[in-house]
Structure 1
Amino acid sequence: MTETKGARTSARLVEAMLELIQARGYAGTGLNTVVEHAGAPKGSLYFHFPEGKEALGERAVELAAGRFRDLLAESAAAPDGPATGAEGAGAVVWRVIDVLARMVEDSDYQLGCPVSVVTLEMGAQSERLRDACANAFDSWITPVADHLAAHGRPLPEARVLATAVVSTVEGAMIVSRAQRSVEPLRCAAHAVTLLLDGPDATTPKAAS
Protein backbone atom coordinates (compact mmCIF):
# COMPACT_ATOMS: atom_id res chain seq x y z
CA MET A 1 0.00 0.00 0.00
CA THR A 2 1.32 3.44 -0.96
CA GLU A 3 1.97 5.69 2.01
CA THR A 4 -0.13 8.84 1.98
CA LYS A 5 1.31 12.36 2.16
CA GLY A 6 -0.24 12.77 5.59
CA ALA A 7 1.35 9.57 6.85
CA ARG A 8 4.74 10.72 5.57
CA THR A 9 4.37 14.07 7.33
CA SER A 10 3.35 12.35 10.56
CA ALA A 11 6.36 10.03 10.32
CA ARG A 12 8.71 12.98 9.72
CA LEU A 13 7.38 14.72 12.81
CA VAL A 14 7.90 11.63 14.94
CA GLU A 15 11.41 11.15 13.55
CA ALA A 16 12.24 14.78 14.21
CA MET A 17 10.93 14.54 17.77
CA LEU A 18 13.04 11.45 18.39
CA GLU A 19 16.21 13.06 17.04
CA LEU A 20 15.67 16.22 19.07
CA ILE A 21 14.96 14.31 22.29
CA GLN A 22 18.26 12.48 21.81
CA ALA A 23 20.16 15.71 21.24
CA ARG A 24 18.32 18.18 23.49
CA GLY A 25 16.12 16.20 25.83
CA TYR A 26 12.32 16.21 26.00
CA ALA A 27 11.97 19.44 27.98
CA GLY A 28 14.44 21.20 25.70
CA THR A 29 12.51 20.30 22.56
CA GLY A 30 9.92 22.85 21.48
CA LEU A 31 7.15 22.02 19.06
CA ASN A 32 8.08 24.82 16.66
CA THR A 33 11.58 23.36 16.51
CA VAL A 34 10.14 19.92 15.77
CA VAL A 35 8.10 21.29 12.87
CA GLU A 36 11.13 23.13 11.50
CA HIS A 37 13.41 20.11 11.93
CA ALA A 38 10.88 17.90 10.15
CA GLY A 39 10.44 20.36 7.27
CA ALA A 40 6.70 20.03 7.84
CA PRO A 41 4.03 22.62 7.06
CA LYS A 42 3.08 24.94 9.89
CA GLY A 43 -0.04 23.69 11.61
CA SER A 44 0.63 20.09 10.59
CA LEU A 45 1.70 19.08 14.08
CA TYR A 46 -1.64 19.71 15.74
CA PHE A 47 -3.43 18.26 12.74
CA HIS A 48 -1.60 14.96 13.16
CA PHE A 49 -1.14 15.19 16.93
CA PRO A 50 -4.12 17.13 18.31
CA GLU A 51 -3.18 16.07 21.86
CA GLY A 52 0.09 17.94 21.55
CA LYS A 53 3.61 17.30 22.75
CA GLU A 54 2.89 14.31 24.98
CA ALA A 55 1.26 12.42 22.11
CA LEU A 56 4.22 13.17 19.86
CA GLY A 57 6.66 12.20 22.61
CA GLU A 58 4.81 8.93 23.11
CA ARG A 59 5.14 8.10 19.43
CA ALA A 60 8.84 8.98 19.49
CA VAL A 61 9.39 6.62 22.42
CA GLU A 62 7.53 3.88 20.54
CA LEU A 63 9.72 4.48 17.48
CA ALA A 64 12.89 4.24 19.58
CA ALA A 65 11.60 1.06 21.21
CA GLY A 66 10.90 -0.53 17.85
CA ARG A 67 14.34 0.29 16.51
CA PHE A 68 16.06 -1.25 19.51
CA ARG A 69 13.92 -4.39 19.15
CA ASP A 70 15.00 -4.57 15.52
CA LEU A 71 18.64 -4.29 16.62
CA LEU A 72 18.14 -7.16 19.07
CA ALA A 73 16.52 -9.29 16.37
CA GLU A 74 19.25 -8.53 13.83
CA SER A 75 21.97 -9.36 16.36
CA ALA A 76 20.29 -12.65 17.26
CA ALA A 77 19.92 -13.56 13.58
CA ALA A 78 23.57 -12.90 12.68
CA PRO A 79 25.01 -15.81 10.63
CA ASP A 80 27.57 -16.62 13.30
CA GLY A 81 25.16 -15.91 16.13
CA PRO A 82 23.78 -17.97 18.97
CA ALA A 83 21.18 -19.59 16.75
CA THR A 84 23.97 -21.79 15.42
CA GLY A 85 24.92 -22.86 18.93
CA ALA A 86 28.45 -21.59 18.34
CA GLU A 87 28.26 -18.75 20.86
CA GLY A 88 27.02 -18.25 24.38
CA ALA A 89 23.88 -16.39 25.35
CA GLY A 90 25.80 -13.18 26.00
CA ALA A 91 27.04 -12.82 22.42
CA VAL A 92 23.83 -11.18 21.18
CA VAL A 93 23.96 -8.57 23.94
CA TRP A 94 27.64 -8.00 23.24
CA ARG A 95 26.90 -7.24 19.59
CA VAL A 96 24.08 -4.88 20.56
CA ILE A 97 26.33 -3.00 22.99
CA ASP A 98 29.02 -2.76 20.31
CA VAL A 99 26.56 -1.05 17.96
CA LEU A 100 25.44 1.31 20.74
CA ALA A 101 29.04 2.16 21.63
CA ARG A 102 29.82 3.11 18.05
CA MET A 103 26.62 5.20 17.84
CA VAL A 104 27.50 7.13 21.01
CA GLU A 105 31.10 7.62 19.91
CA ASP A 106 30.18 8.69 16.37
CA SER A 107 27.79 11.32 17.77
CA ASP A 108 30.62 12.78 19.87
CA TYR A 109 28.73 11.59 22.95
CA GLN A 110 25.71 13.74 22.16
CA LEU A 111 23.23 10.93 21.55
CA GLY A 112 21.91 8.60 24.20
CA CYS A 113 18.85 6.48 24.76
CA PRO A 114 15.74 8.65 24.25
CA VAL A 115 13.66 6.33 26.41
CA SER A 116 15.87 6.87 29.44
CA VAL A 117 15.91 10.62 28.71
CA VAL A 118 12.11 10.83 28.70
CA THR A 119 11.87 8.60 31.78
CA LEU A 120 14.23 10.79 33.79
CA GLU A 121 12.67 14.07 32.67
CA MET A 122 8.99 13.22 32.57
CA GLY A 123 8.41 10.00 34.51
CA ALA A 124 7.17 11.85 37.57
CA GLN A 125 5.14 14.42 35.61
CA SER A 126 3.36 12.51 32.86
CA GLU A 127 1.73 9.14 33.42
CA ARG A 128 1.26 8.81 29.67
CA LEU A 129 4.97 9.17 28.96
CA ARG A 130 5.97 7.05 31.95
CA ASP A 131 3.74 4.25 30.65
CA ALA A 132 5.24 4.61 27.17
CA CYS A 133 8.75 4.30 28.60
CA ALA A 134 7.81 1.36 30.82
CA ASN A 135 6.33 -0.42 27.80
CA ALA A 136 9.47 0.34 25.78
CA PHE A 137 11.77 -1.16 28.41
CA ASP A 138 9.49 -4.19 28.73
CA SER A 139 9.57 -4.66 24.96
CA TRP A 140 13.38 -5.02 25.24
CA ILE A 141 13.42 -7.15 28.37
CA THR A 142 10.98 -9.70 26.95
CA PRO A 143 12.98 -10.72 23.83
CA VAL A 144 16.19 -10.86 25.87
CA ALA A 145 14.42 -13.13 28.36
CA ASP A 146 13.11 -15.30 25.52
CA HIS A 147 16.64 -15.52 24.12
CA LEU A 148 18.01 -16.63 27.50
CA ALA A 149 15.19 -19.14 27.91
CA ALA A 150 16.09 -20.58 24.51
CA HIS A 151 19.59 -21.08 25.91
CA GLY A 152 18.26 -23.17 28.76
CA ARG A 153 17.47 -20.68 31.50
CA PRO A 154 14.18 -21.19 33.36
CA LEU A 155 11.85 -18.40 32.29
CA PRO A 156 11.57 -16.68 35.72
CA GLU A 157 15.38 -16.62 35.99
CA ALA A 158 15.65 -15.48 32.37
CA ARG A 159 13.33 -12.56 33.12
CA VAL A 160 15.42 -11.49 36.12
CA LEU A 161 18.64 -11.66 34.11
CA ALA A 162 17.11 -9.84 31.14
CA THR A 163 15.96 -7.01 33.40
CA ALA A 164 19.47 -6.76 34.84
CA VAL A 165 21.01 -6.75 31.35
CA VAL A 166 18.78 -3.96 30.01
CA SER A 167 19.34 -1.92 33.18
CA THR A 168 23.11 -2.41 32.90
CA VAL A 169 23.19 -1.28 29.28
CA GLU A 170 21.04 1.78 30.00
CA GLY A 171 23.27 2.83 32.88
CA ALA A 172 26.44 2.25 30.88
CA MET A 173 25.21 4.54 28.11
CA ILE A 174 24.68 7.35 30.61
CA VAL A 175 28.13 6.87 32.17
CA SER A 176 29.77 6.69 28.73
CA ARG A 177 28.25 10.04 27.78
CA ALA A 178 29.31 11.61 31.07
CA GLN A 179 32.89 10.34 30.75
CA ARG A 180 33.06 10.84 26.98
CA SER A 181 34.36 7.32 26.64
CA VAL A 182 32.86 4.05 25.41
CA GLU A 183 34.83 2.18 28.07
CA PRO A 184 31.79 1.93 30.41
CA LEU A 185 29.84 0.28 27.58
CA ARG A 186 32.73 -2.09 26.87
CA CYS A 187 32.87 -2.95 30.57
CA ALA A 188 29.12 -3.55 30.55
CA ALA A 189 29.49 -5.91 27.58
CA HIS A 190 32.18 -7.87 29.39
CA ALA A 191 30.16 -7.97 32.63
CA VAL A 192 27.03 -9.17 30.82
CA THR A 193 29.00 -11.94 29.12
CA LEU A 194 30.35 -13.08 32.48
CA LEU A 195 26.88 -12.91 34.01
CA LEU A 196 25.21 -14.91 31.26
CA ASP A 197 27.93 -17.32 30.20
CA GLY A 198 30.22 -17.64 33.23
CA PRO A 199 33.90 -16.83 33.86
CA ASP A 200 35.15 -19.20 31.16
CA ALA A 201 33.16 -17.49 28.40
CA THR A 202 35.03 -16.20 25.38
CA THR A 203 34.11 -12.56 24.83
CA PRO A 204 33.70 -11.47 21.21
CA LYS A 205 35.96 -8.79 19.82
CA ALA A 206 34.53 -5.33 19.34
CA ALA A 207 33.88 -4.29 15.77
CA SER A 208 36.46 -1.91 14.33
Structure 2
Amino acid sequence: MTGPKGARTSARLAESMLELIQRDGYSGTGLNTVVAHAGAPKGSLYFHFPEGKEALGERAVELAATRFADLLADAARQSATPGAAVRHLTTVLAGLVEESDYQLGCPVSVVTLEMGGRSERLRAACARTFESWIAPVTELLVTHGRPRPAARALATAAVSMVEGAMIVSRAQRSTEPLHHAAIALAALLDHDAGPTP
Protein backbone atom coordinates (compact mmCIF):
# COMPACT_ATOMS: atom_id res chain seq x y z
CA MET A 1 0.00 0.00 0.00
CA THR A 2 1.38 3.44 -0.95
CA GLY A 3 1.17 6.56 1.19
CA PRO A 4 0.62 10.19 0.16
CA LYS A 5 4.06 10.40 -1.47
CA GLY A 6 3.40 7.27 -3.51
CA ALA A 7 -0.02 8.60 -4.53
CA ARG A 8 1.59 11.84 -5.69
CA THR A 9 4.17 9.94 -7.73
CA SER A 10 1.48 7.78 -9.33
CA ALA A 11 -0.56 10.89 -10.17
CA ARG A 12 2.51 12.63 -11.67
CA LEU A 13 3.22 9.62 -13.87
CA ALA A 14 -0.38 9.54 -15.12
CA GLU A 15 -0.36 13.30 -15.72
CA SER A 16 2.89 13.06 -17.67
CA MET A 17 1.57 10.16 -19.74
CA LEU A 18 -1.55 12.17 -20.55
CA GLU A 19 0.43 15.24 -21.62
CA LEU A 20 2.84 13.21 -23.72
CA ILE A 21 0.05 11.26 -25.44
CA GLN A 22 -1.57 14.56 -26.38
CA ARG A 23 1.68 15.83 -27.85
CA ASP A 24 3.42 12.72 -29.22
CA GLY A 25 0.73 10.06 -29.44
CA TYR A 26 0.56 6.80 -27.51
CA SER A 27 3.03 4.94 -29.69
CA GLY A 28 5.43 7.88 -29.67
CA THR A 29 5.51 8.04 -25.89
CA GLY A 30 8.21 5.89 -24.31
CA LEU A 31 8.19 4.92 -20.66
CA ASN A 32 11.63 6.44 -20.03
CA THR A 33 10.32 9.72 -21.39
CA VAL A 34 7.30 9.54 -19.07
CA VAL A 35 9.52 8.93 -16.03
CA ALA A 36 11.80 11.84 -16.98
CA HIS A 37 8.87 14.15 -17.70
CA ALA A 38 7.31 13.28 -14.33
CA GLY A 39 10.59 13.75 -12.49
CA ALA A 40 9.96 10.39 -10.86
CA PRO A 41 12.49 7.79 -9.67
CA LYS A 42 13.25 5.23 -12.39
CA GLY A 43 11.88 2.29 -10.46
CA SER A 44 8.64 4.05 -9.61
CA LEU A 45 6.84 3.33 -12.87
CA TYR A 46 6.73 -0.44 -12.49
CA PHE A 47 6.08 -0.10 -8.76
CA HIS A 48 2.94 1.94 -9.41
CA PHE A 49 2.06 0.38 -12.76
CA PRO A 50 3.35 -3.19 -12.63
CA GLU A 51 1.37 -4.06 -15.77
CA GLY A 52 3.38 -1.55 -17.77
CA LYS A 53 2.52 0.93 -20.48
CA GLU A 54 -1.07 -0.19 -21.11
CA ALA A 55 -1.94 0.24 -17.44
CA LEU A 56 -0.40 3.71 -17.42
CA GLY A 57 -2.19 4.53 -20.69
CA GLU A 58 -5.46 3.39 -19.17
CA ARG A 59 -4.92 5.66 -16.17
CA ALA A 60 -4.14 8.58 -18.48
CA VAL A 61 -7.37 7.97 -20.41
CA GLU A 62 -9.29 7.88 -17.13
CA LEU A 63 -7.71 11.19 -16.14
CA ALA A 64 -8.75 12.70 -19.48
CA ALA A 65 -12.28 11.37 -18.92
CA THR A 66 -12.55 13.13 -15.59
CA ARG A 67 -11.18 16.42 -16.87
CA PHE A 68 -13.48 16.58 -19.88
CA ALA A 69 -16.47 15.55 -17.75
CA ASP A 70 -15.64 18.47 -15.44
CA LEU A 71 -15.56 20.84 -18.44
CA LEU A 72 -18.94 19.48 -19.57
CA ALA A 73 -20.47 19.93 -16.13
CA ASP A 74 -19.11 23.47 -15.88
CA ALA A 75 -20.47 24.36 -19.34
CA ALA A 76 -23.91 22.95 -18.42
CA ARG A 77 -23.98 24.93 -15.14
CA GLN A 78 -23.15 28.20 -16.90
CA SER A 79 -25.55 27.78 -19.82
CA ALA A 80 -29.31 28.17 -20.22
CA THR A 81 -29.65 25.62 -23.04
CA PRO A 82 -27.77 22.56 -24.33
CA GLY A 83 -26.73 24.54 -27.40
CA ALA A 84 -25.26 27.28 -25.24
CA ALA A 85 -23.41 24.63 -23.21
CA VAL A 86 -21.83 23.25 -26.39
CA ARG A 87 -20.81 26.73 -27.48
CA HIS A 88 -19.21 27.33 -24.09
CA LEU A 89 -17.41 23.98 -24.19
CA THR A 90 -16.06 24.39 -27.71
CA THR A 91 -14.82 27.90 -26.86
CA VAL A 92 -12.81 26.44 -23.98
CA LEU A 93 -11.48 23.61 -26.17
CA ALA A 94 -10.58 26.03 -28.98
CA GLY A 95 -8.60 28.10 -26.49
CA LEU A 96 -6.70 25.04 -25.25
CA VAL A 97 -5.87 23.87 -28.78
CA GLU A 98 -4.80 27.35 -29.90
CA GLU A 99 -2.70 27.99 -26.77
CA SER A 100 -0.78 24.77 -27.45
CA ASP A 101 -0.02 25.95 -31.01
CA TYR A 102 -2.20 23.07 -32.24
CA GLN A 103 0.08 20.48 -30.66
CA LEU A 104 -2.43 19.15 -28.12
CA GLY A 105 -5.57 17.27 -28.98
CA CYS A 106 -7.91 14.84 -27.31
CA PRO A 107 -5.80 11.99 -25.91
CA VAL A 108 -8.76 9.63 -25.98
CA SER A 109 -9.19 9.94 -29.74
CA VAL A 110 -5.41 9.50 -30.14
CA VAL A 111 -5.38 6.29 -28.10
CA THR A 112 -8.52 5.00 -29.85
CA LEU A 113 -7.05 5.55 -33.31
CA GLU A 114 -3.62 4.13 -32.46
CA MET A 115 -4.50 1.26 -30.14
CA GLY A 116 -8.21 0.50 -30.50
CA GLY A 117 -7.52 -2.42 -32.80
CA ARG A 118 -4.47 -3.70 -30.91
CA SER A 119 -5.31 -3.45 -27.22
CA GLU A 120 -8.67 -4.51 -25.84
CA ARG A 121 -7.77 -2.92 -22.52
CA LEU A 122 -7.19 0.49 -24.07
CA ARG A 123 -10.14 0.20 -26.46
CA ALA A 124 -12.43 -0.54 -23.52
CA ALA A 125 -10.98 2.37 -21.52
CA CYS A 126 -11.66 4.71 -24.44
CA ALA A 127 -15.18 3.35 -24.89
CA ARG A 128 -15.91 3.93 -21.18
CA THR A 129 -14.56 7.45 -21.49
CA PHE A 130 -16.72 8.37 -24.45
CA GLU A 131 -19.72 6.92 -22.62
CA SER A 132 -18.87 9.07 -19.58
CA TRP A 133 -19.26 12.11 -21.84
CA ILE A 134 -22.31 10.93 -23.78
CA ALA A 135 -24.31 10.07 -20.65
CA PRO A 136 -24.35 13.56 -19.05
CA VAL A 137 -25.12 15.22 -22.39
CA THR A 138 -28.02 12.78 -22.74
CA GLU A 139 -29.30 13.77 -19.29
CA LEU A 140 -28.94 17.47 -20.11
CA LEU A 141 -31.05 17.01 -23.24
CA VAL A 142 -33.67 14.98 -21.34
CA THR A 143 -33.86 17.77 -18.76
CA HIS A 144 -34.56 20.18 -21.62
CA GLY A 145 -37.44 18.15 -22.98
CA ARG A 146 -35.95 15.59 -25.35
CA PRO A 147 -37.27 12.02 -25.23
CA ARG A 148 -34.50 9.76 -23.94
CA PRO A 149 -33.84 7.78 -27.17
CA ALA A 150 -33.56 11.01 -29.19
CA ALA A 151 -31.43 12.59 -26.45
CA ARG A 152 -29.05 9.65 -26.50
CA ALA A 153 -28.71 9.80 -30.29
CA LEU A 154 -28.09 13.55 -30.24
CA ALA A 155 -25.60 13.29 -27.38
CA THR A 156 -23.64 10.64 -29.26
CA ALA A 157 -23.63 12.82 -32.38
CA ALA A 158 -22.54 15.87 -30.36
CA VAL A 159 -19.58 14.14 -28.71
CA SER A 160 -18.56 12.64 -32.05
CA MET A 161 -18.75 16.00 -33.81
CA VAL A 162 -16.69 17.81 -31.18
CA GLU A 163 -14.06 15.05 -31.28
CA GLY A 164 -13.87 15.26 -35.06
CA ALA A 165 -13.75 19.05 -35.01
CA MET A 166 -10.76 18.96 -32.67
CA ILE A 167 -8.89 16.70 -35.09
CA VAL A 168 -9.71 18.90 -38.09
CA SER A 169 -8.75 22.03 -36.12
CA ARG A 170 -5.32 20.57 -35.43
CA ALA A 171 -4.85 19.54 -39.06
CA GLN A 172 -5.87 22.97 -40.38
CA ARG A 173 -4.18 24.89 -37.56
CA SER A 174 -7.39 26.81 -37.10
CA THR A 175 -10.15 26.85 -34.48
CA GLU A 176 -12.77 27.43 -37.19
CA PRO A 177 -13.81 23.74 -37.34
CA LEU A 178 -14.59 23.82 -33.61
CA HIS A 179 -16.54 27.06 -33.95
CA HIS A 180 -18.48 25.74 -36.96
CA ALA A 181 -19.27 22.53 -35.08
CA ALA A 182 -20.55 24.60 -32.15
CA ILE A 183 -22.89 26.61 -34.38
CA ALA A 184 -24.27 23.48 -36.06
CA LEU A 185 -24.68 21.62 -32.77
CA ALA A 186 -26.33 24.56 -31.02
CA ALA A 187 -28.97 24.71 -33.74
CA LEU A 188 -29.45 20.95 -33.64
CA LEU A 189 -29.59 20.56 -29.87
CA ASP A 190 -31.90 23.49 -29.22
CA HIS A 191 -34.26 22.92 -32.16
CA ASP A 192 -37.74 21.88 -31.00
CA ALA A 193 -36.35 20.79 -27.66
CA GLY A 194 -39.62 21.57 -25.90
CA PRO A 195 -40.07 23.37 -22.61
CA THR A 196 -37.76 22.83 -19.69
CA PRO A 197 -39.62 20.79 -17.05
Q: What is the TM-score when the length of structure 2 is the normalising length?
A: 0.95
* Pair 1:153 & 2:175 matched: no
Structure 1 equivalent of residue 25 of structure 2:
25
- Residue type of the alignment partner of 2:28: G
The CA deviation string for residues 37-84 of structure 1, in whole angstroms up to 9 with x for no partner, is 000001100000000000000000000000000001111112xx22xx
Structure 2, gaps ≥5 residues long: 193-197
Measure, in 1, the Cα distance between the counterparts of 2:83 and 2:99: 24
Measure, in 1, the Cα distance between the counterparts of 2:82 and 2:73: 14
* Pair 1:12 & 2:9 matched: no
Measure, in 1, the Cα distance between the counterparts of 2:85 and 2:77: 9
The CA deviation string for residues 86-106 of structure 1, in whole angstroms up to 9 with x for no partner, is xx3211111011100010011
* Pair 1:135 & 2:135 matched: no
Measure, in 1, the Cα distance between the counterparts of 2:140 and 2:191: 16
The CA deviation string for residues 155-205 of structure 1, in whole angstroms up to 9 with x for no partner, is 111000000000000000000000000000000000001111239xxxxxx
* Pair 1:175 & 2:185 matched: no
Structure 1, gaps ≥5 residues long: 83-87, 200-208
- Residue type of the alignment partner of 2:157: A
Structure 2 equivalent of residue 202 of structure 1:
none
Percent of residue pairs bearing the same amino acid type: 72
- Residue type of the alignment partner of 2:162: V
What SS is found at the alignment partner of 1:125?
coil
Structure 1 equivalent of residue 62 of structure 2:
62
- Residue type of the alignment partner of 1:71: L
Deviation beyond 6 Å, 4+ runs, structure 1: none
8 Å CA contact retained: 2:76, 2:82: no
Measure, in 1, the Cα distance between the counterparts of 2:160 and 2:16: 26
- Residue type of the alignment partner of 2:18: L
Measure, in 2, the Cα distance between the counterparts of 1:9 and 1:198: 47
**What is the Cα-based RMSD across aligned positions, in Å?**
1.0
Structure ranking higher in helix proportion: 2
